[in-house]
Amino acid sequence: MTPAMRTGPGPSSGTPAPARLLRAVGPPLSSLPLAAAVRGAVALATPLLVGVLTGWVFPSVIAAIGALWAVGQDGSDPYPSRVGRFVALGLSASLGLAGGELALRSGPSAVVTVCLVVAALVAGAIGLRGRIWSVAGMHLLLGVTIGGGIPVPGPWWQAPIALFAGVSFVLVLSSAPWLWQRHHIERAALLAVFRAASTALAAAGTPGAAETRRHLTDALDNAHQAMDRHLTSSRRQPPDARVEPLLRAFRLAVRLGEAVTTLQWEARPLPAVVSRAPLVMSARLLPVRKNGDVPVLPDFGPHSPGLHALAQLSVAADAERVDTALAAPASPRPTRQAHLRYAVLLALCVLAAQVCADLLHSPRAYWLPMTVAFVYKPDFGPVFRRALNRCVGTVVGAAAIGAVSTAVHGTHAIIGVVAFFGALMAVGVRHHYALATTGLTAVVFVLVDLLGDHRALYGARMLDTALAAALVLVVHFVAWPRSAVSRADSRTQAALAAAHRYQDLSPTVGPDRRHALRRAAYRQLADARRAAVHARREPVLRGAEPPDWERAITSAEELCDAVTARALHAAPGPAAPTTVTVASSDAM
């Protein structure tokens, strides 16, 4: 492998404890998603304004709770994905709220506890099956928690309908741009690929080349997710005229990734005109104006094999069609044993939280199990980091709303406060879980106050959050301490297998199959690297350090880079490794 493509070793196990703690809290805020912030403010303020104007305060507050949860699941993914996620959220949360309400109205508190445990078992059983199932399971449990912990006047069916209305309102706000920007998300994802390719070419021959190639892989993964629906439908019928340019751009972007990898593998600096080539391609394929000037790509000069491939692509950008049929690469799924274990542990945590809540705060004992439902989501990232951020966000949010409530009076002013913290939560959803929790905590305090609970519970809720987080961490790390390590192991082994499959089959298959194999390998290597990062952020017992996944993943990436370069007849270089392995954590 070329020196420019090598990266340093994995994270050091000797990092000081304060640095580990700061790293666990997460990265700093980098940019502000204004559209999401506006949606968050409008989504939470509007139901409350309607309630004030109509006198239907309780249904409007329940609708605001639904909107609050939906803002927590808003995103910038393709609109069909959002619709599916919001519908699953609304249906499951409404079903859970109805079940919790009926259990609360039945009389004995034991019925509420049984309902919570059953909901936790269901949520855990489906929670690791994918994003939509995970969201549905968590909000089923949240619905039962709120329904069983907050008495709501009126018929039992009124609150679930109001909750679903709040979720539907956020769905409309989030998906409305589809009406006038039909393929904006797909276009933006594709443009990001060409920009990442330009950056990667500019970094060729430098120590940062490997990192830019990984950013290109991430951009291709995002574009593949955005275009997957169109790719699938195009295999069944001719694509719409508005979709065809996007499909051409994606298929060429896949081939561009191969050419960029080859040029980086050659490990020599490139002229500036080369790094501008992807931008010129994107301007040709996805012009801002239909009748604008088409940029001209200057001659690259003497061609290496990598430059020759890039030059061919620049010509293909003007061609009628670039044929590359790709299916979205899949990641390995958790085993049935993992599903069962998570379901049982989540149910145990919820049961323990409900018992503690009944002893400490009955009635309205909902904060502890609600916190467990939010925190114990290993598929959303490191459990330790999530618990820590939850505690930090709750303390800051409670302190903030406590300070604001002493200075702000009047219903409309309170609604303005809700709008502000709703916007803050929407920003946090995209950048930092502690920030999202800060906004959510402040809004929940206001909504609960509007429901008639005027007790001063700031300190109690901070303690409840810390207790729930502690319950989750104790149960999880006692009964399932190696979950993140096992996940990183399985993802790494699957990624290494994909890399070797690409190496073995690449010389014998056609271009379409080669592109699919390469995309699958790089996608799984990226997933494995993320799983390794998550596992590093979880506490480990002294003397039980996990294997060096990063080194194996880096070697496999270099193997794939070499295979890609050879596929384009790259100049001979140092021999590529033929075997890449990583020791299983179970053997250590």
Minimum mean pLDDT range among 2-6, 27-31, 275-279, 405-409: 2-6
330 vs 558: which has the higher pLDDT: 558
Q: Residue 328 corresponds to which tokens in the numbers above? A: 């979205």
- pLDDT exceeds cutoff 70 at 330: no
Bond from prior residue into 80 cis (ω within 30 degrees of 0) = no
Instruction: Record the pTM.
Output: 0.80
pLDDT confidence of residue 484 = 84
CB under 8 Å to 283, separation ≥6 — which residues? 294, 295
- pLDDT exceeds cutoff 70 at 586: no
Q: How far apart are CA 229 and CA 235, in angstroms?
A: 10
pLDDT confidence of residue 17 = 41
Helix ranges restricted to H, 299-335: 305-316
294 vs 576: which has the higher pLDDT: 294
Q: How many residues in the chain?
A: 588
> Half-sphere exposure (CA, 13 Å, Cβ side) for 326?
31
Q: How far apart are CA 581 and CA 568, in angstroms?
A: 26
- Distance linking the first and last C-alpha atoms of the chain: 29
The H or E element containing residue 450 is helix 433-450
Average predicted confidence (pLDDT) for the chain: 80
Nearest to 128 by CA among 561, 405, 480: 480
Residue 150: strand, helix, or coil: coil
pLDDT digits (tens, 9 = 90+) for 229-275: 877 777 777 777 778 888 888 888 888 888 888 888 877 888 887 88
> Half-sphere exposure (CA, 13 Å, Cβ side) for 561?
31
pLDDT digits (tens, 9 = 90+) for 133-159: 999 999 999 999 999 888 888 898 999
pLDDT digits (tens, 9 = 90+) for 461-478: 889 999 999 999 999 888
pLDDT digits (tens, 9 = 90+) for 183-218: 888 888 899 999 999 898 888 888 888 899 889 988
Q: How far apart are CA 418 and CA 357, in angstroms?
A: 27
